[in-house]
Amino acid sequence: MNAPTDIKLYMEDVGRRARAAARVLARSGTDAKNCALLAIASAVRRDLAGLLAANAEDVAAARAAGKDSAFIDRLALTGKSVEAMAQGLEQVASLSDPVGEVSELRERPSGIKVGKMRVPLGVIGVIYESRPNVTADAAALCLKSGNATILRGGSESIRSNRAIAACLHEGLRVAGLPEDAVQVVDTADRAAVGELLQMDRYVDIIVPRGGKGLIERIMAESRIPVIKHLDGVCHVYIDERADLDKAIRIADNAKTQRYGTCNTMEALLVHEAIAPRVLPPLASIYLDKGVELRCDERSRAIIRAALGAESPLVKAATEQDFYTEYLAPILSVRVVSGLDEAMEHIAKYGSQHTDAIVTEDEARARRFLREVDSSSVMVNASTRFADGFEYGLGAEIGISTDKLHARGPVGLEGLTSQKYVVFGTGQVRT
Amino acid sequence: MNAPTDIKLYMEDVGRRARAAARVLARSGTDAKNCALLAIASAVRRDLAGLLAANAEDVAAARAAGKDSAFIDRLALTGKSVEAMAQGLEQVASLSDPVGEVSELRERPSGIKVGKMRVPLGVIGVIYESRPNVTADAAALCLKSGNATILRGGSESIRSNRAIAACLHEGLRVAGLPEDAVQVVDTADRAAVGELLQMDRYVDIIVPRGGKGLIERIMAESRIPVIKHLDGVCHVYIDERADLDKAIRIADNAKTQRYGTCNTMEALLVHEAIAPRVLPPLASIYLDKGVELRCDERSRAIIRAALGAESPLVKAATEQDFYTEYLAPILSVRVVSGLDEAMEHIAKYGSQHTDAIVTEDEARARRFLREVDSSSVMVNASTRFADGFEYGLGAEIGISTDKLHARGPVGLEGLTSQKYVVFGTGQVRT
């Protein structure tokens, strides 16, 4: 396909086709959708050489444009990552299909039976950056949930995305599904994103995948609801009644298992009564791993007193530090007077993503679970578990920190909605 | 309270107070919320004379301002309508509390248990016109679902709303709940609505109650998600395999039981094979009741042939008629070639509110249920059943034709959201 010249007309056509395909897809059975997913997986494996060649062109162009090595890493495909793509498609095929499921069916005094039926949202717009594997991953989840998809990846990955799109369309054809069920926006023109975000008559939801800059831009511009989270300022609160071993294990894992993920702990809150026992061993672990600690006065005094010599990694926190998602080996630390102060802190500085309490006190655990207003709230577990796979969703299209519709990791069910269905035998209202 | 002078500062203060009250309300138990609802009901009954006096002032001012009698009807309170308000409050108290309910709890291979907990949305802004009873109804549903509410009624009902607000605040005080949990915006300045719609840092959702003009204005201006439906262009499709008696009963009731409601049928679609048998008796019923029929050519020919003489109530439909929500004794009528054409018609002209099929054919009923993309889809029942009370929600704050979050009649559950809760015993991610 040649690059379109009039972006507005081109996107209008993409939207119209997506809406038409969505209607066909919504009534397609599980077998056809699974058949398409497996056929796409097999096309991806068969076309490995072609995918890698197209990707090599993207990589060469990105290098020539002076992109940094982190960018190239995200852009580059390998035999291994293409195989992972194929396995991801097969895995989505193996998930159960939420569409058509009727629940909560109840007979009413009038004699009608009322229930809810799970149905696709319709058309999903996915806007992402340079990772080509998102093309296959997002298409798979949207397809399985019965939604048509408009995929708009970064312009630097356009050759890779075209090659993956060819596999997607082949799989759809094999299964007898409309090729327009998955469309890859085939233009490097950034105006296409602006158009997509205005097409509320064709697109039901926008899923951005990428950095905060991308998401902020989409939020500001979109007329369509967006499934997103901006920040992951996640907390672990170690309560006075925490088991020390669990507290240390969880606080270590939540920070250091991976530094760059949205569910990584960014601030540690410690009850004043347990701080002298838990902070010294934890600080040793963090400092050994090269984690910089930005401490309030009390935590800093305890750590310094315990560890003796001044460490350049133990610093004084500023107010701003507590609002910060470091995505790096840096941790904010604060001593609090108890559960209430911990929850006040989370309400003020947190981002409603994921927060955990470590305690053996059931009443406090219950209060924390109920009162902390975040998309995932945990007791005695690492914040790193906030993830579609760990939660058993099979896969996730993203994590939402919004309160409406889907909250937390969003899997197939989050890409569907429920309508009311009514079964009567001729009833009328009196 | 005196009318505020600086609307921006005033609304900012209202928002801040609502957010603070929402945190208290979210952790309040069912008993306290029910106690408040019952105390409000009793205050409303006790203050009957005062409420009627305040309302009489509003009515007098509205008359003086030249408002029409339909407006005065909506504005005026009577002993009976105040008693209905009190009973509505008691009825909401008797509904079960969705907040805190944990569902779908499952143990994962990692050993953590993952479930979902139902929680309030936070702060709900309700914008309505002149009906003072909305003040009590909306406050009751939001309070029971654990949400703080900002109520902004029409400026013409401000004295009535102040009097109702006094009862609301008394009830909250009696129950030990913060008075700011329900705030009535106490200014006739229309700029208050504009401010409210921008306060996305304080308000989680907007519920408009009123005519299409109000809702369109709110949709255009709001930075906050809106629970709404614009139109109710509802259809009944009488299939070839319909039971004739059921078809006539349902098509009669769906149109004529009430003309002005959003779930009233506005267009009747009839299979060509059954049209000669079902249209003549139905047309007689409609014409007897004074319903004007706007017919496509085929239905007009059948009706004229059967009923003989030319009736001034049998007219030719224009294309625009099929898009129209009449809210009046007028009905669009069309003969279709079958289920597919009926569903195409609904997809093109409908408003995704409520649509029904009359058929004894299970396969066709299943297709209609699955493929018609409306918030309520029915088999062999009148569209007039699309209602929170009829569906067993106990009450409704409105009906949503959007696909995200709540769809169809929105009751207590639609004013809540689900967050993930994780129960561990020290698990970390590997």
Which candidate in B422, B423, B425, B430 is best for mutational testing of the A interface (most A CBs within 10 A)? B422
Average pLDDT over residues A69-97: 95
DSSP assignment, residue A405?
Answer: S
Residue A132 predicted with pLDDT over 80: yes
Which candidate in A114, A200, A227 is best for mutational testing of the B interface (most B CBs within 10 A)? A114
| pLDDT for res A4 | 59
- The 10 Å Cβ neighbour count of residue A130 is 22
- The 10 Å Cβ neighbour count of residue A9 is 11
pTM above 0.95, yes or no: no
**Which residue's entry shows tokens 């939020």?**
A219
The partner residue sitting opposite A422, judged by closest CB among B373, B381, B427, is B381
CB contact under 8 Å between B385 and A424, yes or no, is: yes
Sign of CA dihedral A359, A362, A367, A373: positive
Residue A418 Cα, gap to closest chain B Cα (Å): 7
Q: How far apart are CA B109 and CA B114, in angstroms?
A: 11
The partner residue sitting opposite A243, judged by closest CB among B252, B426, B430, is B426
Which candidate in B385, B387, B400, B410 is best for mutational testing of the A interface (most A CBs within 10 A)? B385
Q: How far apart are CA A236 and CA A234, in angstroms?
A: 7
In terms of C-beta distances under 8 Å and separation of at least 24 residues, what long-range contacts does A62-68 make, across chains too? A62/A130, A62/A156, A65/A156, A67/A156
The partner residue sitting opposite B420, judged by closest CB among A121, A205, A375, is A375
- The 10 Å Cβ neighbour count of residue B312 is 7
Average pLDDT over residues A371-389: 96
A321-352: pLDDT as tens digits? 999 999 999 999 999 999 999 999 999 999 99
Average pLDDT, chain B: 95
| Contact list, B429 vs chain A (CB under 8 Å) | 253, 257, 382, 384-385, 390
Q: How far apart are CA A288 and CA A304, in angstroms?
A: 15
| Chain A CA closest to residue B382 | A428
Residue A3 predicted with pLDDT over 60: no
- By the 10 Å C-beta count (0-12 exposed, 13-18 middle, 19+ buried), B1 is classed as exposed
Q: What is the DSSP string of A13-70?
A: HHHHHHHHHHHHHHT--HHHHHHHHHHHHHHHHHTHHHHHHHHHHHHHHHHHTT--HH
Q: How far apart are CA A178 and CA A334, in angstroms?
A: 56
> How far is C-alpha B290 from the chain's CA centre?
28
| Chain A CA closest to residue B227 | A404
Q: Going by C-beta distance under 8 Å and a sequence separation of 6 or more, which residues neighbour residue A330?
A: A291, A292, A293, A294
Confidence of residue A88 (pLDDT cuts 50, 70, 90): very high
Confidence of residue B410 (pLDDT cuts 50, 70, 90): very high
CB A201 within 8 A of CB A11: no
The amino acid sitting at B19 is R
CB contact under 8 Å between B427 and A119, yes or no, is: no
A133 touches chain B (CB under 8 A): no
| pLDDT for res B308 | 79
Q: Find the helix packing angle between B79-94 and B48-64, rounded to 10°.
A: 120
Residue B92 Cα, gap to closest chain A Cα (Å): 18
A17-70: pLDDT as tens digits? 999 999 999 999 999 999 999 999 999 999 999 999 999 999 999 999 999 998
CB contact under 8 Å between B380 and A427, yes or no, is: yes
| pLDDT for res A1 | 46
Helix/strand/coil for B374: coil
Strands of the sheet with A205-209, listed across from one edge: A182-184, A148-152, A123-128, A205-209
CB contact under 8 Å between A428 and B108, yes or no, is: no
The amino acid sitting at A214 is L
| pLDDT for res B4 | 60
Q: H helices of B199-296, where?
A: 212-221, 244-256, 275-288
**In the structure encoding, which two tokens stand for residue A376, read together?**
């995932």
| pLDDT for res B1 | 46
Percentage of the residues of chain B whose pLDDT score is greater than 90: 89
| Chain A CA closest to residue B392 | A108
A391 touches chain B (CB under 8 A): yes
A297-316: pLDDT as tens digits? 999 999 999 987 678 999 99
Percentage of the residues of chain A whose pLDDT score is greater than 70: 99
Cα dist from B54 to B74, B152, B160, whole Å: 15, 17, 5
B131-190: pLDDT as tens digits? 999 999 999 999 999 999 999 999 999 999 999 999 999 999 999 999 999 999 998 888
Q: Which of A103-117, A210-224, A231-245, B62-76 has the lowest mean pLDDT?
A: A210-224
CB contact under 8 Å between A424 and B369, yes or no, is: no
Sign of CA dihedral A305, A306, A309, A310: negative
CB contact under 8 Å between A419 and B405, yes or no, is: no
Average pLDDT, chain A: 95
The partner residue sitting opposite B114, judged by closest CB among A23, A114, A391, is A391
Q: How far apart are CA A420 and CA A425, in angstroms?
A: 17
Residue B3 predicted with pLDDT over 80: no
For A422, list phi and psi in degrees, rounded to 5: -125, 125
Average pLDDT over residues B404-429: 95
Residues in chain B: 430
Residue B127 predicted with pLDDT over 80: yes
Q: How far apart are CA A322 and CA B154, in angstroms?
A: 43
Average pLDDT over residues B349-371: 97
CB contact under 8 Å between B420 and A405, yes or no, is: no
Q: Going by C-beta distance under 8 Å and a sequence separation of 6 or more, which residues neighbour residue A379?
A: A356, A357, A358, A359, A365, A368, A369, B421, B422, B423, B424
| Contact list, A427 vs chain B (CB under 8 Å) | 380-382, 385
Please identify among residues 60-119 of chain B the ones whose CB lies closer than 8 Å to any CB of chain A: 100, 106, 108, 110, 112, 114, 117, 119
B253 touches chain A (CB under 8 A): yes
3-state helix, strand, coil in chain B (%, to 5): 45, 20, 35
For A183, list phi and psi in degrees, rounded to 5: -120, 130
Helix/strand/coil for A97: coil
| pLDDT for res B403 | 87
| Chain B CA closest to residue A402 | B204
B205 touches chain A (CB under 8 A): yes
For A278, list phi and psi in degrees, rounded to 5: -95, -30
A327: left (phi over 0), alpha (psi -120 to 50) or beta: left
Confidence of residue B394 (pLDDT cuts 50, 70, 90): confident
Q: How far apart are CA A179 and CA A21, in angstroms?
A: 8
| pLDDT for res A154 | 92
| Chain A CA closest to residue B206 | A404
Confidence of residue A394 (pLDDT cuts 50, 70, 90): confident
| Chain B CA closest to residue A25 | B371
B417 touches chain A (CB under 8 A): yes
CB B53 within 8 A of CB B154: no
CB contact under 8 Å between A243 and B23, yes or no, is: no
| Contact list, A364 vs chain B (CB under 8 Å) | none
A219 touches chain B (CB under 8 A): no
Cα dist from A144 to A15, A180, A411, B74, whole Å: 20, 15, 11, 48
Q: Using the CB atoms, write b or e for B220-255: b if 16+ within 10 Å.
A: eebebbbbbbbbbbbbbbbbbbbbeebbbbbbbbbb
| Chain B CA closest to residue A112 | B381
Residue B304 predicted with pLDDT over 70: yes
Beta bridge partners of B416: B120
| pLDDT for res B210 | 84
Residue B268 predicted with pLDDT over 50: yes
Confidence of residue B303 (pLDDT cuts 50, 70, 90): very high
CB contact under 8 Å between B422 and A119, yes or no, is: no
Confidence of residue A5 (pLDDT cuts 50, 70, 90): low
CB contact under 8 Å between B404 and A428, yes or no, is: no
CB B152 within 8 A of CB B126: yes
Q: How far apart are CA A77 and CA A276, in angstroms?
A: 49
> How far is C-alpha A5 from the chain's CA centre?
33
| Chain B CA closest to residue A401 | B419
- ipTM (interface predicted TM): 0.92
